[in-house]
Structure 1
């Protein structure tokens, strides 16, 4: 992910903005001139000792930064696994816990995603005050406790409540993990680390049900929760032993405290150590700004609406796979879970193709249309094939399942759908980062909130949709809506994006 240089001017005028001071909101290059200006004005200001300071996380050893990236990716992988691992076990869960209504069973699955819409609003400001490491591990411990408790539930209500709080705790891994990558990698170095990190968050919901199917068939649905808790405990132990704090304000705060003790100068401080920088203000900004952007920015509204729909479709497919494979194709729960690999293959192919093409297209447009100057809209061309692959995949998947064709046919359709989802997510994420460089965290939080609501709601109506229209016409309806929302989006943003950005006080250029 790359964040454009327009953050420099915005940060110079909004130096007191907590979000503008976080590494996730600015490029490393944009921080250098700000530090220089403040050093000249304040001799007591504690900063890095030049651009090559070994204490700066971006200058840590390559092996150390990859170790931190892998740990952050592991946290961000294990939580999405929980979102869907119980999908193959919904029948067994409903039977044992007397959850007779389909709605109640699917609610126990999707309530996790609903909770993940709210967790980042607390985890974000806490990490800005106290650092990435303690907040990430505290929220993960919260998730670990309630996820384990899910396995001991004796009623449907207990399961739903525990799932909600597990989702709340698990949601911190995504928002803080992305911040960790911004802390330790320079802009030009982030490509591979971000690809691995985002691939893990996408593969989690597909690997989960695959494992859940075998666990449910050969053990008990309760072990779908306990197995995740055991894996998560291992990650927590590794993080306790080998994970270091990466957040620049916290590290510089420690440096300032050490220098105050060594020099006896009580006035030494960092630019983040101000009386007005309180948790209350950070929390209010974290809550208010995403909704302010969402209600005032047409660009973000278009992106959030489309991504929310695609995200909802993904979880709708994940939740209805067991119905298709165990009833219409009469597969066992464990073998049915193997079909989730089709979605994973689509994600992997989409990642590989889109990652290679998006930079090539951007550079070509920058040279030919921009005369050497890049524009955020140069991220959009690949959104069109993604917007076409999503409905094509849904249509293929639906009608091949409807006509009971060989199992490979629905899997091909869902793989095409998965590749389209990856194209859409990668293009829109990069475009949003380029459009809102200073407010990237808030724009991401707004999008995450809307898509989490969609991910929660879509699986709830899925059984009724397919009961009424079956897989053929049901997926055709979903595909047509995806076509109407997705295809106009890149054209609208390509032609109207520049003028909307110029009129926006939050957007770049």
Structure 2
């Protein structure tokens, strides 16, 4: 039996849709803040614990991102079994508890363990949030909402180091954990009131249970009420067999996830590489204090947020115009045009930043390069995430979990090899290598999917190939 039309999330009033979007975006913002906020304070934390190995010191920050690789593989599929809201809120509470505990870690082992466990809970928003937006927004409305949502995981790691730098210079390093915990508690309270369940199979199951309770076997026939989603994969014994392995199957079997996931991993790894190397540029080359050097993260934030606002206003307009040319039928490929400039801006920004990071060049010039890098990153993220959600709507959480797994491994690995690369090659040659990789992986991607995307979706086991977007 179908739900009453007003109860379908896509038919909710705009105010309710935006309330859910705002809460999910807030969750998704706070977790990446925690991932990077301790970076400027890592030297003080390493000194406290007597850490002399630079790789271990870097791992204190990046192990949080390692948890991002594994958390979505569990939390994303569970949200498709038990509902988005329940799993998202439970994951956020888990994150809060362990992030708060990081401030009381007594040694290196405890800090590493608490950071990993905190990141595991914080990873839920990065995959479940995209699924929520896929549930709530129709394709022709979805672009602007995802533009806001996709800004959060990129802007969070920018705001975090700015705050962490001043805490490291002026205050107790434990505030890099206490501060985001306090804000996240407030966000969690708001979420309890405004974050509603959006996943259609769970909503239909709840409706079916209500109908069963309303039938009296003594007065009338007792019907066996089932939903269109009822089946073996909604039972506990199939959680491990199917749901938890679905993200891996998506990556193995879906060329869409393979190519876009690889490029997203490169972009995300570059983001965290920048987050960990900006202090060395502006403290080491330009001799700025910790707090002042942290302000250069604003350049990355300007590129991310400024272009995001422009793209948020254009992405749905472009989509609707392309749909009109196609007789009103939409396709996920209509999300790709904004990716084209992003694939060019990213290598340009890398080259500008790398070759101008010299004491003889004013600090504003590498900052301009950083702005361009941020612009390229956000255009790629928004386009890729919207494309994946449009193509894998019902399994969007698992599809995003697959891409998140590999991008999080890159977020862990890139900062670990960056110091050695830049020490051996310098910023110019090091960023040139990254720029060449960005050109080779990124620039062909939107054109390949524009030509072959529909064919790949028609051959897919999970994409919405037989339905109009």
TM value normalised by structure 1: 0.83
TM-superposed CA distance for 1:505, in Å, is 4.5
Question: Aligned to 1:402, what secondary structure does the other structure show?
Answer: coil
What residue number does 2:397 align with? 441
For the residues of structure 2 that align with 1:247 and 1:258, how far apart are their CA atoms?
17
Aligned-partner SS, 1:117: helix
Q: 1:312 Cα shift?
A: 0.5
- Which one of 368, 374, 380 corresponds to residue 412 of structure 1? 368
Aligned to 1:463: 419
Contact 1:181–1:193 under 8 Å retained in 2: yes
In structure 2, the residue matched to 1:47 is: 2
- Tell whether the 8 Å contact from 1:402 to 1:470 is kept in structure 2 after alignment: no
- The yes-or-no answer on 1:192 pairing with 2:144 is yes
Unmatched tracts of structure 2, length 5 or more: none
1:381 CA displacement: 3.8
Between the aligned partners of 2:146 and 2:28, the Cα distance in structure 1 is 12
The answer as to whether partners of 1:249 and 1:270 remain within 8 angstroms in 2 is: no
Q: Which residue of 1 aligns with 2:254?
A: 297
CA shift in 2, pair 1:97/1:505, >3 Å: same
Per-residue CA shift, 1:290-323, capped at 9, x if unaligned? 2223223333322111111111111100111111
Alignment partner, residue 268 of structure 2:
311
C-alpha distance after superposition, 1:58-113 (max 9, x if no partner): 44444333333222221111111111111111111111111111101111111111
Q: Is the 8 A contact 2:85 2:197 kept in 1?
A: yes
Q: Are the aligned partners of 1:259 and 1:268 in contact in 2 as well (CA < 8 Å)?
A: no
Partner of 1:474: 430
Instruction: Answer whether contact 2:158 2:297 (CA < 8 A) is retained.
Output: yes
Of 61-70 and 131-140, deviating more is 61-70
Aligned partner of 1:135 in structure 2 is 87
Contact 1:393 1:413 survives alignment (8 Å): yes
Query: Counterparts of 1:138 and 1:401 in 2: how far apart (Å)?
Result: 44
User: Please, which of 241, 265, 281 is the counterpart of residue 284 of structure 1?
Assistant: 241
Match of 2:280 in 1: 323
How far the C-alpha of 1:367 sits from its partner, in A, is 6.0
1:63 maps to what in 2?
Answer: 15
Distance in 1 between residues matched to 2:391 and 2:12, nearest whole Å: 30
5+ residue gaps, structure 1: 1-45
In 1, are the aligned partners of 2:88 and 2:128 still within 8 Å (CA)?
yes
Deviations 1:39-62 (A, max 9, x none): xxxxxxx3213x3x3x33444444
Query: Which residue of structure 2 lines up, in the alignment, with residue 239 of structure 1?
Result: 191
Q: Distance in 2 between matches of 1:373 and 1:152?
A: 55
Is the contact between residue 383 and residue 424 of structure 1 (CA under 8 Å) also seen in structure 2?
Answer: yes
Cα deviation digits, residues 452-494 of structure 1 (max 9, x gap): 1111110111111111112122112211221222223334334
Residue 260, structure 1, aligned to residue 212, structure 2: yes
Stretches (4+) displaced over 6 A:
none
Q: Which residue of 1 aligns with 2:311?
A: 354
RMSD: 2.5
Residue pairs, 1:106-117, within 5 angstroms: 106-117=58-69
Q: CA deviation at 1:251?
A: 3.7
Rounded to whole Å, the distance in 2 between the matches of 1:246 and 1:377 is 25
| Partner in structure 2 of residue 221 of structure 1 | 173
1:384 equivalent to 2:336? Answer no
* Alignment CA distance shift 1:293-1:64 (3 Å): closer
Task: Please give the alpha-carbon distance, in whole angstroms, between the structure 2 residues aligned to 1:97 and 1:296.
Answer: 45
Instruction: Determine the C-alpha separation between the residues in 1 that align with 2:335 and 2:146.
Output: 16
Structure 1 pair 138–460 and aligned structure 2 pair: CA distance change class (3 A): same
What's the CA shift string for 1:439-463, capped at 9, x where partnerless?
Answer: 4433322111111111111011111
Deviation at 1:142, TM superposition (A): 1.1
Q: Once structures 1 and 2 are overlaid, which stretch shifts more, 359-368 or 446-455? A: 359-368
In 1, the alpha carbon distance for the partners of 2:424 and 2:303 equals 28
